[in-house]
Structure 1
């Protein structure tokens, strides 16, 4: 969730007074870090994943599943038993936005050897088992992206009633403040986003129109002051709080590059992959007790933290604000960072011109300067009284204040001051999966892709506006099978062919207009003769040329088989599986409503699958996550 400072949070009015101070010193802190480590090379590859979990309480007698608001208590126990007792403990635990959420990471980053891939699933299993071991009876730790009845009456345990007209952080019609983590950062973020925006956030998700869905579908809200009535759209599910986005779970991976230039190259190349992997990992079809017509959380979380004023959104003339801003502060990236990406920067970029000029004057190149100057058009959303005046030479809290509240598909991360950590990039679009095997598969796929990108000097770049179009397509229902995505045809433009059909353009005659075409995810991942070689065949070629022990090779190939079969549609995404589970359930009335009973049966099934108590061949195939290492000695599939 980013920077977690301790101290006394300031109100929005007081935070706003210090906004220029934070921006000014944030830039000075960035410059100090940059000067100290810009020439740093030869950092070794390190990487790690972050998995977010929900704590779910089951009432088997009454067939109810609720979110257990015990996250802080569970986190305290896990930290006391883990890292505080043993600094080398294999897992680390951190708070998340919801008081029903926790986040787990490996205790130490993984290294650059291929054998590390063979330990990912085991570490994720340890995390799940650790967390489960401190829960109460009939509670479970679940990796679901979006809890289907989040925001419905009684969705938490203990139950609380929202307070839309009283003083509070959300003032939500649906989401009680008690469901927000008690760390002051989270409620302060929630309150200050609302105050800065001048109204509650507005989230509208299209309803899935089943045969018995109300038509037209239009909700009314008894406790509404009029704000919801103005905001809600016909045929949409309406939500009004940060918790509907930040209260979802995701899967993220961070990589340490060997240098700043390598980090910038990876940042750009992976940005084009974000919508593809998001569609592949789709796991969030239900919101506020309804079946909706989207499969991913991205647009929901983007709207849930959209602090832009009416002026900044272009709804009123600029008077009190400096900029029109096209996107929420949680969205896709707005500019490439590497020189090879410059010509594809075709999105109008709003920047703080004074900051840009300051950075250029201090020796920062144009691309990096405009990236930082774009991030810094945003205000700080939280500020702690004890953290206003800092030592810019040795601290970076003001920089991170802005940096960590620009939640984009990719994040470019400078090293912390005076640390041995290198330049990093964070891959952020993935939805969390039900099982440790699936989460491991997606993590290993992305990490392997970074190795191949760097080894083969691959080029995935297309105009950034097309990446944005891909992001919209990726969130649609069943995008993995139905969607078409812009993707570069010749990904080996700068080097030799690595698989059949992957090589430099013939005679150098390719024009910009021919560099990319619309492809299905099956074509992008698995390839299509005469069109595109496919990412999996490229990864296979890489593996064939690497010395990999049999157990690790078997493990990796099982992960890639899952990705391959998800891309082809042979295996379902979690979103599609959830939809089919609900559609075929005898309690479902084909009215797009997720009842308490439906929610209970779905969540219990998800828990059983995660615990490997039942098999789910539609989701996981047959035997993929059961194969004993060493059982398959083939190098490809």
Structure 2
């Protein structure tokens, strides 16, 4: 979730008064870091995954499942038994936005050897087992992206009613503040986003029109004029940060060998983001309804959209400096490497003073405009004790802005005075039901990271990547969507020559015929005469690597899952969930998910995750036995 400073949080009006101070000193902190480590080379490849979990409780008698608001207590115990007792403990635990959520990572980053791939799933199993051991009877740790009845009456345990009056953090009609993590950062973020925007956030998700769904589908909010104005016909309306940040995801962070390599990988992986997001689609339900989207990305983007009406272009600029085209949670807006520069065809809004300052300090144009674009945003949280800092040795002000630009990729400078190198974070994936699936997606992305080093070359116009992001979120995008992609990523385009630092020389414009619209099946598995396929390219890459038999088998098993998801032989989690609800005996083909239907679905998800039942439609023959039960035993299991 980014920076978690401790202290006394300031209100939005107080934070706003210090915004220029934070930006000014954030840039000074970035410059100190940059000049200290810009020439640092030969860092080894390290990487790690982040898995977010929800805590749920099953009421088998009443056939109801709720989110358990005990995340802080569970986290405290996990940390006390783990890293605080043993710095080399194999797992690390961190808080997340929801008080029903926790985040787990490996205790130490993985290295550059191929054998590391054989330990990912085992570590994820350890995390699930550790967290599960602390739960009460009939409770479980679930890796589901979105809880289908999030925001419906009684969705939490204990149950709380939302507080839409002034004084609450979100003022939501649906999402109680008690479901927000108690760390002051989270409620302050929620409150300050709303105050900066000048109104509640607005999330409208298209509803899936089934046979008996009302047409038009209209929700009435007679006692709330703001909701009545904001909600749209044929859409599911939501009004709080929790509807986005209260979802779960799967992320991977890489340490590159140098700043040049990090910038190159940032760009290369950015073109992959929409493809992997569609492949990992796992969130078709919102606020108790069946939606017409399969991914959470647009929901979470809207849930933290703090832009004012002026910044959104709805009113003339008067009190704000910029028109801003996107939420601060969205796709990237510029490539960072010289290879990608000529494909930067999106108009970039920047803080010109910061841009000129960075140029004068020796920062190149591409990196300067990237940072100056991030810094058009205001800080959203500020702690009284963290206003005045040592810019040469601290980075809180830089991270304040950096960590609240939640984009598909994040370029991460090293922390000051650390042995950590330049990193990139891959952020678009939806979390999967099982440790096997999550391991498969992580290994796939790490292999792509290795494969996309020079001379690989996946660039095409960034505006087309944005179009891909929109397509990727649609229902059944894996089978129905068409995505722009480069026809040949095995060599540089035009006359470009790519060196080991990711620089292009004598580049010419990429002819339009070098990229085209493709299905995900073509992109992943290949099609003769169109594209060789990422998995066949990876298989060729693996043939030239020294890999022990066990590791090779694991990798091939993971890639088989990705391959079959792309071809449609196996369902995405989103499609499987849709099929489950559509076939539920209580479903009335009206797009409504009742408590009992939700209970049946989440119970099944938990059983699949812990191999208490098989699911060939989702996992095929790739699913393997695990040695523990992921929920407390009870008679219903």
Q: Tell me the residue number matched to 1:631.
A: none
Q: Deviations over 1:215-262 (max 9, x none)?
A: 1100012542x0000000100000000000000000000000000000
> Where does 1:81-120 land on structure 2 (aligned, <5 Å)?
81-120=81-120
Q: Deviations over 1:364-417 (max 9, x none)?
A: 000000000000000000000000000000000000000000000000000000
How far is 1:121 from its partner?
0.1
Contact between 2:557 and 2:622, CA under 8 Å: does it hold in 1?
no
Contact between 2:611 and 2:626, CA under 8 Å: does it hold in 1?
no
2:330 is the counterpart of 1:331: yes
Cα distance in 2 between the residues matched to 1:612 and 1:107? 25
Partner SS state of residue 452, structure 2 = helix
Q: Tell me the residue number matched to 1:605.
A: 604
Partner SS state of residue 54, structure 2 = strand
Cα distance in 2 between the residues matched to 1:549 and 1:84? 35
Cα distance in 2 between the residues matched to 1:474 and 1:29? 37
Q: Tell me the residue number matched to 2:471.
A: 473
Contact between 1:481 and 1:568, CA under 8 Å: does it hold in 2?
yes
Q: Tell me the residue number matched to 2:457.
A: 459
Cα distance in 2 between the residues matched to 1:335 and 1:260? 16
Structure 2 stretches lacking a partner, 5+ long: 494-506, 628-637
Cα distance in 1 between the residues matched to 2:436 and 2:58? 24
Q: Deviations over 1:488-523 (max 9, x none)?
A: 01212239xxxxxxxxxxxx9995211210000000
2:236 is the counterpart of 1:244: no
How far is 1:623 from its partner?
3.8
Contact between 1:7 and 1:385, CA under 8 Å: does it hold in 2?
yes
TM-score (ref. length: structure 2): 0.95
Q: Tell me the residue number matched to 2:19.
A: 19
Cα distance in 2 between the residues matched to 1:342 and 1:625? 44
Cα distance in 1 between the residues matched to 2:147 and 2:510? 46
Contact between 1:205 and 1:300, CA under 8 Å: does it hold in 2?
yes
Q: How many residues of Structure 1 are paired with residues of Structure 2 in the alignment?
A: 615
Cα distance in 2 between the residues matched to 1:47 and 1:387? 30
Cα distance in 2 between the residues matched to 1:626 and 1:162? 42
CA change 1:354–1:92 in 2 (3 A) is: same
2:28 is the counterpart of 1:28: yes
Contact between 1:53 and 1:249, CA under 8 Å: does it hold in 2?
yes
Q: Tell me the residue number matched to 2:633.
A: none
2:151 is the counterpart of 1:154: no
Contact between 2:162 and 2:176, CA under 8 Å: does it hold in 1?
yes
Contact between 1:558 and 1:625, CA under 8 Å: does it hold in 2?
no
CA change 1:87–1:538 in 2 (3 A) is: same
Q: Tell me the residue number matched to 1:564.
A: 563
Structure 1 stretches lacking a partner, 5+ long: 496-507, 629-637
Q: Tell me the residue number matched to 1:58.
A: 58
> Where does 1:348-427 land on structure 2 (aligned, <5 Å)?
348-427=347-426
Cα distance in 2 between the residues matched to 1:527 and 1:404? 36
Q: Deviations over 1:310-366 (max 9, x none)?
A: 000000000000000000000000000000100000000000000000000000000
Partner SS state of residue 598, structure 1 = helix
Contact between 1:49 and 1:106, CA under 8 Å: does it hold in 2?
yes
Cα distance in 2 between the residues matched to 1:416 and 1:87? 20
Partner SS state of residue 556, structure 2 = helix
> Where does 1:573-612 land on structure 2 (aligned, <5 Å)?
573-612=572-611
Q: Tell me the residue number matched to 1:77.
A: 77
Cα distance in 2 between the residues matched to 1:59 and 1:448? 42
Q: Tell me the residue number matched to 2:482.
A: 484
2:297 is the counterpart of 1:295: no
Contact between 2:222 and 2:228, CA under 8 Å: does it hold in 1?
no
Cα distance in 1 between the residues matched to 2:509 and 2:222? 60
Contact between 1:131 and 1:141, CA under 8 Å: does it hold in 2?
yes
2:10 is the counterpart of 1:2: no
How far is 1:612 from its partner?
1.1
Q: Deviations over 1:166-201 (max 9, x none)?
A: 411000000000000000000000000000000000
How far is 1:558 from its partner?
0.2
Cα distance in 1 between the residues matched to 2:508 and 2:463? 24
Cα distance in 2 between the residues matched to 1:194 and 1:166? 11
Partner SS state of residue 485, structure 2 = strand
Partner SS state of residue 340, structure 2 = helix
Partner SS state of residue 340, structure 1 = coil
Contact between 2:282 and 2:572, CA under 8 Å: does it hold in 1?
yes
How far is 1:537 from its partner?
0.4
Structure 1 runs, 4 residues or longer, greater than 3 Å off: 508-511, 623-628
Cα distance in 2 between the residues matched to 1:423 and 1:510? 29
2:186 is the counterpart of 1:191: no
2:240 is the counterpart of 1:253: no
Contact between 1:558 and 1:624, CA under 8 Å: does it hold in 2?
no
Q: Tell me the residue number matched to 1:499.
A: none
Cα RMSD after superposing both structures: 1.4
How far is 1:469 from its partner?
0.2
Cα distance in 2 between the residues matched to 1:30 and 1:311? 29
Partner SS state of residue 164, structure 1 = coil
Cα distance in 2 between the residues matched to 1:28 and 1:302? 29
How far is 1:626 from its partner?
4.8
Cα distance in 2 between the residues matched to 1:338 and 1:466? 18
Partner SS state of residue 355, structure 1 = helix
Cα distance in 2 between the residues matched to 1:624 and 1:58? 25
Q: Deviations over 1:5-31 (max 9, x none)?
A: 000000000000000000000000000
How far is 1:627 from its partner?
11
